[in-house]
Amino acid sequence: MNLKLVYVSVLMFGVAGLLLFMYLQAWIEEQYTESGEKLHQQAIHQVFRVISTEELERITKTWITAEHLGISNKALKDSTHSQEDGSPFLGMPASLIPGLSEEPQKITLLLQPLKQVVVPPAMNKTFISDNSWKTMGETQEKRKSFLQNFCRKHVVSENRPQIHLVRMVSRIYVEDKHKLLYCEVPKAGCSNWKRVLIVLSGLAKSAANITHNAVHYGKHLKKLDSYDLKGIHMRLKTYTKVIFVRDPMERLVSAFRDKFEHPNSYYHPVFGKAIIKKYRLNAGREALTAGSGVTFKEFVKYLLDSHRPVGMDTHWEQINKLCYPCFINYDFIGKFETLEEDANYFLRLIGAPEGLVFPNFKDRHATDKRTNSEVVQQYLAEIPDKERQQTYDFYYLDYLMFNYTVPYAQP
């Protein structure tokens, strides 16, 4: 065999191998995408609510698209929030929502009709013969049907929405032992909820021993988005899904007090600095370097700014963009206003150990007065009417979805 022939053969083998490799690679990718997409679609079908075609036809008013719940294609790709136009709804030009505050019922969001899936909650209601519990059960049914009606009436999408399931479930914590999914809403009892989840999972004996840092920075709890699509799908379908909400303005003021009225090594340098720099005239050098001492008025300016100098944060992000309550069919809707009552009822429903009672720790800034409506009024008094109204509008969907009374700045 001459050298030339050997050389050519080696070259041919190399090329053939490379071609085979490329072909296999493409094939594998295709398989993966196909099955991933299929699962994805199934999962969306499972979690979406139905809207009848008649209902769709009746809807002729202004639309909000799925995009306004923060689920546009673009939003999927860049995780940064994009509120460019100062309207209370993501991506909707302010010009499209004339007189929103006066005519809130015009809000309509289109969702395509999807097959109804009734997911039976894994809750044991056999013991609800007792009257005190019965009332709680009725309250739950009311809250759920209220939300369902809201979503049916207002949430519609003109096209198949490209909702990325993984993103939609990224705030949900998983407790596999009791088959629980808890969507975290900061400033609505979430620290104590996480303590309870840690106890339920068997990682701790009592909620009392779990420190604030262990709750928030420990790696005890898994998020739903850490599973593959099949795992997410299975859990959404079979687990009990729970969310706890709070009056939007109380939540906002509570977040402000927690993050800006106390030393904080993240919120002051990251948010405080940017806020003071943009909204405080003649800011002192010290305030500019430390970022401490942001006022509520400055904070609200930042919140409403269409060109925020720094992004949003889960503590003041709208609940509808954290937990997607029109897309994920929550089995239990708790309210911070009746936190312990709701939570203990829920714990009994899911068969939590007898001794486990929802804790009432206020572990940070324990000496501060709790943020209630009176405290909220004091903070809102610092804000001009127009901006106060815009702040209400900003949380408008949250108010409506959970039947909180929408306040108006002007009588």
Ligand X SMILES: *[C@@H]1O[C@H](CO)[C@@H](O)[C@H](O)[C@H]1NC(C)=O
Residue 199: name the closest of 227, 172, 178, 229 by CA.
Answer: 178
For ligand X, the closer of residues 195 and 233 by Cβ is 195
Residue 90 to residue 209: CA distance in whole angstroms: 41
For residue 172, the SS3 value is: strand
Which of these segments, 32-40, 91-99, 140-148, 170-178, binds ligand X (CB under 6 A)? Answer: 140-148
Residue 403 lies near ligand X (rule: CB under 6 A): yes
Question: Closest CB to ligand X among 37 and 141?
Answer: 141
CB of 402 to ligand X, least distance (A): 9
For the bound state, the minimum distance from the C-beta of residue 141 to ligand X, rounded and expressed in Å, comes to: 9
Answer yes or no whether residue 338 interacts with ligand X by CB under 6 A. Answer: no
- Least distance in Å: CB of 157 to ligand X? 25
Q: Which of 150, 102, 135 is nearest to 389 (CA)?
A: 102
238 belongs to the binding site for ligand X (CB under 6 A):
no
Task: Give the one residue of 25, 33, 73, 124 binding ligand X; rule: CB under 6 A.
Answer: 124
CA dist., res. 363 & res. 367, Å (int): 9
Kindly state the DSSP code that residue 351 receives in the 8-state scheme: T
Binding track over 145-174 against ligand X, x by CB under 6 A? -x----------------------------
C-alpha–C-alpha distance, residues 218 and 210, integer Å: 10
Residue 243: beta bridge partners? 183, 333
Of 92, 83, 89, 87, give the one whose Cα is nearest residue 69.
Answer: 89
**Closest CB to ligand X among residues 101, 148:** 148
Among 7, 21, 27, 127, binds ligand X (CB under 6 A): 127
State yes or no: residue 212 binds ligand X (CB under 6 A): no
The nearest distance, CB 333 to ligand X, in angstroms, is 10
Residues 126, 159, 213, 367: which binds ligand X (CB under 6 A)? 126
Strands 332-335 and 222-223: what pairing? unpaired
Sites for ligand X among residues 182-211 (CB under 6 A): 205-206, 208-209
CA distance 403 to 246: 10
135 binds ligand X per the rule CB under 6 A: no
Q: Are 258 and 231 in contact (CB under 8 A)?
A: no
CB of 123 to ligand X, least distance (A): 9
In the bound complex, what is the minimum distance in angstroms from residue 177's beta carbon to ligand X?
Answer: 14
SS3 assignment for 227-269: CCHHHHHHHHHHCEEEEEECCHHHHHHHHHHHHHCCCCCCHHH
Contact between 258 and 364 under an 8 Å Cβ cutoff? The reply is yes
Nearer to ligand X (CB atom), residue 227 or residue 361: 361
Binding region for ligand X (CB under 6 A): 124, 126-127, 142-143, 146, 205-206, 208-209, 403
